[in-house]
Amino acid sequence: MPEGPPGPPGETPRHQPSLHEHLSCVAAPATWLSPPGAQLTGGADGLYVSDRRVLSRLLVTLDGAEPEPREAVLRGADSARFTATRGTLTVERLRTVRHDGGTERITVRNDGASPVTARLAITAAADFAPISAVKAGDPPPLETVLRGGVVAGPGGYEVRLDGPVDVELTLAPGEHVTTTLAVRATPPPGPGFRPAPPDGPPPWARAPLTVRSADDRIGALVTQGIADLGALLLADEGDLYCGAGSPWYLTLFGRDALWTARLALPLGHELAAGTLRALARHQGAGHDPVTEEEPGKIPHELRPAHAPGSLPPVYYGSVDATALFVITLAEAWRWGMPATEVRALLPAAEKALGWLRSFGEFVSYRGSADRLANQGWKDSVDGVQHEDGTLAASPIALAEVQAYAYQAATLGADLLDVYGTGGDGHRRWAEGLAARFRERFWLDDGYPAIAIDGMGRPVDGLASNAGHLLGTGLLTPEEEDRVADRLMELHSGWGLRTLTDRAAGYDPVSYHLGSVWPHDTVIAMLGLSRSGHTEHAATLARGLIAAGAAFGYRLPELFGGQDAGGVPVPYPAACRPQAWSAAVSPALVTVLLGLDPDVPAGRTTVAPLPGFGEMRITGVRVGEAPSAFTIDLP
């Protein structure tokens, strides 16, 4: 079994536990990881609240024996139902997670023809293990048995169990008895950043985005992804953002949150606006070599001060989040974010543009390799390497980061033309960047290098990074044609491999060297659609839809890059749900509709993708009002 990622975000785990068979119920900052048999016995099993495991053991027995599991079904994003039997008794367990804990409703039913007497016993315990220790595969702490009332854990955590744990049953034929357990956790108070639950339902809940199609898989994928986005919502001073993923990353990650907000714009501008305000609140103001803070820089991740880990609680080691901040603001404006909210964020955007323009030839890493060696989205230790397997030397200038920087400068210039002092200076800088990119990045094989490494050498090998260049404006139409065709060489049938199978380092079940990341594929789909390569976009869309069905419509963080056939191979330690994988669902709607809004200009372009038959799509938010579309293209 492969180990977990060698990087993002943190140190190499020793034996990262597998998650792919677990049912994950999420109501951030809480998550409940359950094996198919429902019994919590070890590994990653447990109920976690604010990065602590507050329920590590939960066993249900009848007369001292465990019922035999029969069925496990996820219900939406926050609940799961488990069914087991012992003799003529059926045990149904409905497990629901809440922001501060969870409940389990246990129903025992006599399906036999004779009365039955049995003893229902429930064993519950908490080990208060930090989520980082579980992820690293550390030995679990000693457990404290929960018998009712409040139990204090290390660091000021408290957990309360309510409900009976020992019940004598006498059931006539067809009769049932139900009992409910409730677990509530209270994290310790403390200074600094703290992921908080949202105050209410998701802003898109009033008119949810739905798809009805002859292909039922599309609607199921969209519904599950949007439910998962709602379950991952967190707040900073009331501003909404999505935690990066369950169970490891239920906090604010700049890159993940911004991409999620961009991909989810068909749900409305509110998530983007909240994410931007939350990140602007923590934008770099000074220079700190420990946290890698720089003026104007957008943070990589924020965690509570008490959360253990190898990185500082507020860490700025991301080379791309700052450009993505400006792009997200500009795109949210085009989708209908109110002018007053846009204006309020312009100072942060101008500081971000200033940070981008502080670089010389290219935007590149400028931090310590002792923390995150790679600072783009492929941030594992070995995530950027030459085709012969040699690791790229720092500082690295990634191809997609130059595209983000170009797009940020040009879209930021548009914003400044309307609300600021004008953007011509940023456009000239972007033109210079594009010229330097054209001179240094293009390889003789006819596609752009993954990066320019610290020795000034192009990092060769075809990789999915190239898909992020499409539709940004960095490439000419002719260059986009070449990239689009070469990109499809990476298609596994389920989605784009992160690295060509011709590279020495290719491994289809690695973290970044040949696996498929759904968000990476949908970003390429959006770029292909914008650049006119709709047939390629449709091919990738069909692959992701098929992969979604294979994963029960909850796309994981990543999965294996093997050629399509049978079912896609799970990556055992992948987060599921992961925010930007969940955001594939609304982004898929953007691609299917060919949707290109420009609310400030008073126009919205729709160019539906052919080949998906009749569809009825409702609840698409462009501006303030939801819109509906009916498509019927052969």
Q: Report the CATH architecture of 23-186.
A: Distorted Sandwich (2.70)
Cβ 355 vs Cβ 294: under 8 Å: yes
pLDDT of residue 14: 53
Contacts 24+ apart (CB under 8 A), 392-395: 392/450, 392/451, 392/453, 392/454, 392/459, 393/453, 393/454, 393/455, 394/365, 394/369, 394/453, 394/454, 395/364, 395/365, 395/366, 395/454
Cβ 150 vs Cβ 160: under 8 Å: yes
Mean pLDDT of 446-456: 95
**Distance between CA atoms of 441 and 444, rounded to whole angstroms?**
10
Percentage of the chain exceeding pLDDT 90: 90
**Token pair for residue 303?**
């965690």
Torsion angle, CA of 91/129/574/297, rounded to 10 degrees?
140
**Token pair for residue 634?**
């052969």
Q: What is the 3-state secondary structure (H, E, C) of 480-534?
A: HHHHHHHHHHHECCCCEECECCCCCCCCCCCCCCCCECHHHHHHHHHHHHHCCCH
Q: What's the CATH fold of domain 210-632?
A: Glycosyltransferase (1.50.10)
Is the peptide bond prior to 187 cis by the omega test (within 30 degrees of 0)?
Answer: no
**Token pair for residue 584?**
């594939």
Cβ 356 vs Cβ 364: under 8 Å: no
Is the peptide bond prior to 608 cis by the omega test (within 30 degrees of 0)?
Answer: no
Neighbours of 158 (CB within 10 A): 15
Is residue 343 over pLDDT 90? yes
By residue count, the chain amounts to: 634
Through-space distance between the first and last CA atoms of the chain, rounded to whole angstroms: 44
Pairwise pLDDT comparison (241 vs 12), residue with the higher score: 241
Residue type (1 letter), 351 = K
pLDDT of residue 618: 97
Name every residue whose Cβ is closer than 8 Å to that of residue 28 and which is 6 or more positions away in sequence.
99, 195, 197, 231, 232, 233, 234, 243, 246, 250
Q: What are phi and psi of 469, to 5 degrees?
A: -80, -25
For residue 170, what are the β-bridge partners?
117
Pairwise pLDDT comparison (315 vs 311), residue with the higher score: 315
pLDDT digits (tens, 9 = 90+) for 509-563: 999 999 999 999 999 999 999 999 999 999 999 999 999 999 999 999 999 999 9
For residue 576, what are the β-bridge partners?
none
pLDDT of residue 543: 97
- Residue ranges, comma separated, of all CATH 2.70.98.40 domains in the chain are 23-186
pLDDT of residue 522: 98
Taking Cα atoms as reference points, which of 295, 315, 153 lies closest to residue 249?
315
Is residue 1 over pLDDT 80? no
pLDDT digits (tens, 9 = 90+) for 375-433: 999 999 999 999 999 999 999 999 999 999 999 999 999 999 999 889 999 999 999 99
Is the peptide bond prior to 508 cis by the omega test (within 30 degrees of 0)?
Answer: no
**Distance between CA atoms of 357 and 379, rounded to whole angstroms?**
23
Burial class (CB in 10 A: 0-12, 13-18, 19+), 325: buried
Question: Has this prediction a pTM greater than 0.85?
Answer: yes
Neighbours of 442 (CB within 10 A): 16
**Distance between CA atoms of 211 and 487, rounded to whole angstroms?**
29
**Token pair for residue 193?**
């950043």
Mean pLDDT of the chain: 94
pLDDT digits (tens, 9 = 90+) for 476-499: 999 999 999 999 999 999 999 999
pLDDT of residue 633: 80
pLDDT digits (tens, 9 = 90+) for 169-228: 999 999 999 999 999 999 988 888 999 999 999 999 999 999 999 999 999 999 999 999
Per-residue pLDDT band at 309 (split at 50, 70, 90): confident
Tokens 């492929």 -> residue = 378
pLDDT of residue 308: 65
Per-residue pLDDT band at 566 (split at 50, 70, 90): confident
pLDDT digits (tens, 9 = 90+) for 40-88: 999 999 999 999 999 999 999 999 999 999 999 999 999 999 999 999 9
Neighbours of 471 (CB within 10 A): 21
Neighbours of 74 (CB within 10 A): 18
pLDDT of residue 9: 38
Mean pLDDT of 301-310: 80
Per-residue pLDDT band at 305 (split at 50, 70, 90): confident
Cβ 557 vs Cβ 5: under 8 Å: no
- Residue ranges, comma separated, of all CATH 1.50.10.10 domains in the chain are 210-632
Is residue 13 over pLDDT 50? no
pLDDT digits (tens, 9 = 90+) for 593-617: 999 999 999 999 999 999 999 999 9
Per-residue pLDDT band at 6 (split at 50, 70, 90): very low
Q: What is the 3-state secondary structure (H, E, C) of 283-333?
A: CCCCCECCCCECCCCCCCEECCCCCCCCCCCEECCCCCHHHHHHHHHHHHH
Tokens 């795109």 -> residue = 331
